[in-house]
Amino acid sequence: MIDNTRRSRKHGARAAVISIFVFLLIWQAATTFTSLGILMPSPLISLSAFFKSFIVPIGPYPIFIHIYWSLVRVVPFYIVGAIAGIILGITMGWYKPVAAIFRPIFEILRPIPPIAWIPIAIVWFGIGEGSKWFLIFLAAFMNVTINSFAGARSTDPVLVGCSKMLGASDWQIFTTVVLPGSVPYIFAGLQVALSSSWATIVAAEMIRSSEGVGWIIISSQETNNSVNTLVGVVAIGIVGFILAVIMREVEAVLVKWTKRDI
């Protein structure tokens, strides 16, 4: 039932290709032979439109420029939010007075999804880039803080005792035990934060912008262009996937010690 041999993996890849092919085939048949074709573009049309969009612009730009715009909005403020989140989360998790001061406010804001901040962000920072930066910062900050906090909280007390015994000062315990011990949690947070930031920018661009992947799908919807809407959805999925893979690779390089050789 549960096996991970190389043969079964190869088998899996073949099945995946077959499965996706069959899925596309059913979709193609459904749109060609039934009335679903009126509502929904066929996969052939959608895929050719997707590849065409690299040369023929959608609105002002070809698709990769739209993706570039969305990424330029996300990446810098994602990093800023993540760094702030790591600092606050870890210190809150380790130093009880810091938790006592910041945690109540944080817990009030935490259940509000970043997307729900869009209207007030526009009120505060205008419809331009400022509000988007704020939203991305928030999405990254919230998720990373929660996970870093959990990471610092889960510090192994035996390791702390061990460090004390070996002569480490409180600050050394913080930097050599609490911080590295939280790294797997921090990465879990960074991963969640990345998909949350990506969803938030898509939503924000749908509400107010003149370029970006979110803009593609909303402006296509406004003109009832279901083909380009689908092209936008595919682009959002692919970029989201690539971002998650990059994050996983970064983690694999930085957190070597969780891998087992034996």
Partner 1 sequence: MQKNKTLLYLILSIVSLALFIGIWYYFTAVLQIVSPKTLPSPVKVFTTFIDKFTNPNPDGATLLVHALSSLKITLTGYLTAIVIGVPLGIAMAWYPKVDLYVRPIFDLLKPIPGVAWVPLMIIMLGIGFASKVTVIFISAIVPVLLNSYSGIKQTRDVHIWVARTFGASDWQMLTRIAIPTSLPYVMTGIRVALGAAWTTIVAAELIASTEGLGFMIQQSRGIYRPDIIIVGMVTIGIIGSVLGLLLMLIESVLVKGRSKV
Partner 2 sequence: MDEARHMSKSIIVAQGISKTFTNKRGSTKVIENINLEVRENEFLCLVGPGQCGKTTAVNVLSGLEPASTGTVKINGKTITRPGPDRGFVFQSTALYPWLTVMGNVEYGPKVRGIKKSERREKAQYYINLVGLEGFEHSYPNQLSGGMQQRVGIARAYCNEPVVLFMDQPFGALDAQTRYLMQEEIIRIWETAKRTIVFVTNNIEEAIYLADRIVLLTNTPTQIKKEYKIDFPRPRDYTDPDFLALREEITNEMDKTL
Is 108 a binder of partner 1 (CB under 8 A)? yes
Contacting range for partner 2; rule: CB under 8 A; set: 83-91, 127-135, 139-147, 152-160: 152-160
Instruction: Rank residues 104 and 167 by Cβ distance to partner 2 and give the closer one.
Output: 167
Minimum distance, C-beta of residue 252 to partner 2, in the bound complex (Å): 14
Is 2 a binder of partner 1 (CB under 8 A)? yes
Q: Footprint of partner 2 on residues 11-50 (CB under 8 A)?
A: none
State the angle between helix axes of 43-52 and 226-254 in degrees (0 to 180), rounded to the nearest 10.
70
Residues 6+ apart with CB under 8 A from 166: none
- Total H helices, total E strands in the chain: 12, 0
Instruction: Rank residues 105 and 165 by Cβ distance to partner 1 and give the closer one.
Output: 105
Distance of alpha carbon 40 from its chain centroid, rounded? Answer: 28
Size of the site for partner 2 (CB under 8 A): 26
Minimum distance, C-beta of residue 262 to partner 2, in the bound complex (Å): 6
State the angle between helix axes of 6-33 and 43-52 in degrees (0 to 180), rounded to the nearest 10.
100
How many angstroms separate the Cα of 65 from the Cα of each of 56, 70, 97, 221, 259? 12, 9, 47, 20, 38
Instruction: Rank residues 144 and 160 by Cβ distance to partner 2 and give the closer one.
Output: 160
Is 240 a binder of partner 2 (CB under 8 A)? no
**What's the CA gap between 74 and 85, in Å, rounded?**
16
Instruction: Rank residues 172 and 223 by Cβ distance to partner 2 and give the closer one.
Output: 172
Interface characters, 158-187, with partner 2 (x: CB under 8 A):
xx-xxxxxxxxx--x---xx--xx-x----
Do residues 91 and 144 touch, judged by C-beta distance below 8 A?
Answer: no
Is 153 a binder of partner 1 (CB under 8 A)? no
Minimum distance, C-beta of residue 248 to partner 2, in the bound complex (Å): 18
Is 176 a binder of partner 1 (CB under 8 A)? no
**What's the CA gap between 22 and 30, in Å, rounded?**
12
Is 220 a binder of partner 1 (CB under 8 A)? yes
**What's the CA gap between 262 and 245, in Å, rounded?**
26
Using CB atoms within 10 Å of the CB of residue 147, give its burial: 0 to 12 exposed, 13 to 18 middle, 19+ buried.
Answer: buried
Closest CA to 192 of 107, 118, 81: 81
Instruction: Rank residues 17 and 44 by Cβ distance to partner 1 and give the closer one.
Output: 17
Q: Determine phi and psi for 58, rounding to 5 degrees.
A: -100, 115
Residues that bind partner 1 (CB under 8 A): 1-2, 11-12, 15-16, 18-20, 22-23, 39-40, 96-97, 99-105, 108-120, 122-124, 195, 198-199, 202-203, 206-207, 214, 217-218, 220-221, 224, 226, 229-230, 232-233, 236-238, 240-241, 244
Residues that bind partner 2 (CB under 8 A): 156, 158-159, 161-169, 172, 176-177, 180-181, 183, 255-262
